[in-house]
């Protein structure tokens, strides 16, 4: 039981490049989330998926897209990376919605030059 | 929309001393409250949560928190800290209804343990 896994762990991009961050959970959770963490800002919700087949915007969705590929996987895509997207990205899952305990992956540290 | 304030950015405590980390929230209804801990280079781990019932909540690693509705607070406490408690601590509030008002985190308190 690996919990929530994220790939890659580190990534460096040039401005304008695209990439996809992958997230998978093996806890049979319905809800999944993408957050970004910046120094002094705490965690901010980018997108979430309440259940398979649904996605909704969070607090800071601009510049990102998501895909809930199946119940296990939830990917985050940066179509044209910008330096402002330099951050640590965390994926999380919960059994059912925001009021349930969220389980976090180890994070992806992204630098955009 | 809900909000969370953690007034202390950094706190330094001697090993063996007691600890209290402050958290104030703003939310119109009964909140769902959480404390998470993040060790350096790691993801977040749940320490404890409050949904309803007893306002004093016990968590893992010897932590507890008390929900005080009149003060809109959910402070985290530990009677005697260990060097391994050095980490970043986040208070969060959750709400039904989803959307951008889902789970809101405070900006965190960085705990430093002095030997």
- Kindly give the confidence (pLDDT) of every residue in chain A, 113 residues in length, as a single tens digit, with 9 standing for 90 and above: 789 999 999 999 999 999 999 999 999 999 999 999 998 888 999 999 988 889 999 889 999 999 998 999 999 999 999 999 999 999 999 987 767 788 999 999 999 99
CA pair distance B96, B101, nearest whole angstrom: 8
Quick one: closest CA in B to A97, which residue? B98
CA pair distance A36, A86, nearest whole angstrom: 9
Q: What is the pLDDT of residue B27?
A: 80
Q: pLDDT tens digits for B4-36? A: 999 999 999 999 999 999 999 988 777 889 999
B107:A42 CB<8 A: yes
Residue A82, CA distances (Å) to A19, A79, B78 in order: 12, 10, 42
Check: CB of residue B73 under 8 Å from CB of residue B57. no
Q: pLDDT tens digits for A21-52? A: 999 999 999 999 999 999 888 899 999 998 88
Q: pLDDT tens digits for B33-86? A: 999 999 988 889 999 999 888 899 999 999 999 999 999 999 999 999 999 999
Q: Does B103 touch chain A (CB under 8 A)?
A: yes
Contacts of A10 in chain B (CB under 8 A): none
Q: pLDDT tens digits for B78-109? A: 999 999 999 999 999 886 554 444 678 999 99
B90:A98 CB<8 A: no
CA pair distance B74, A39, nearest whole angstrom: 23
CA pair distance B109, B24, nearest whole angstrom: 13
Neighbours of A113 (CB within 10 A): 10
Average pLDDT, chain A: 93
Check: CB of residue B22 under 8 Å from CB of residue B8. yes
Q: What is the pLDDT of residue A97?
A: 73
Tokens of A27: 């806890």
Q: What is the pLDDT of residue B42?
A: 85
β-pair partners for A73: A24
Non-local (6+) Cβ contacts of B8 within 8 A are B21, B22, B109
Non-local (6+) Cβ contacts of B54 within 8 A are none
Q: Decide: helix, strand or coil at residue B44.
A: strand
Contacts of B36 in chain A (CB under 8 A): 104
CA pair distance A40, A66, nearest whole angstrom: 25
Q: Does B1 touch chain A (CB under 8 A)?
A: no
Q: What is the pLDDT of residue B99?
A: 47
Nearest to A43 among B46, B51, B105 (CB): B105
Q: What is the pLDDT of residue A76?
A: 98
């Amino acid at each position: 039981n690996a919990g929530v896994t994220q790939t890659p762990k580190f990534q460096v991009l040039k401005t304008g490049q695209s990439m996809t961050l992958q997230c998978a959970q093996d806890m049979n959770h319905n809800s999944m989330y993408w957050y970004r963490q910046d120094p002094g800002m705490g965690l901010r919700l980018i997108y979430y998926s309440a259940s398979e087949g649904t996605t909704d915007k969070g607090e800071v969705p601009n510049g990102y897209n998501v895909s809930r590929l199946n119940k296990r996987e939830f990917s985050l895509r940066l179509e044209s990376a910008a330096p402002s997207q330099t951050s640590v990205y965390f994926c999380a899952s919960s059994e059912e919605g925001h009021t349930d305990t969220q389980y976090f992956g180890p994070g992806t540290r992204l630098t955009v030059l | 929309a809900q909000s969370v304030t953690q007034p202390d950015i950094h706190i330094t405590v001697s090993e063996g001393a007691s600890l209290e980390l402050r958290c104030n929230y703003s939310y119109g209804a009964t909140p769902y409250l959480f404390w998470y801990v993040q060790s350096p280079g790691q993801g977040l781990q749940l320490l404890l949560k409050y949904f309803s019932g007893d306002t004093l909540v016990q968590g893992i690693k010897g932590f507890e928190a008390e929900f005080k509705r009149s003060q809109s607070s959910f402070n985290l406490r530990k009677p005697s800290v260990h060097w391994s408690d050095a980490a970043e601590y986040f208070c969060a509030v959750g709400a039904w209804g989803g959307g951008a008002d889902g789970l809101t985190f405070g900006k965190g308190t960085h705990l430093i343990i002095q030997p």
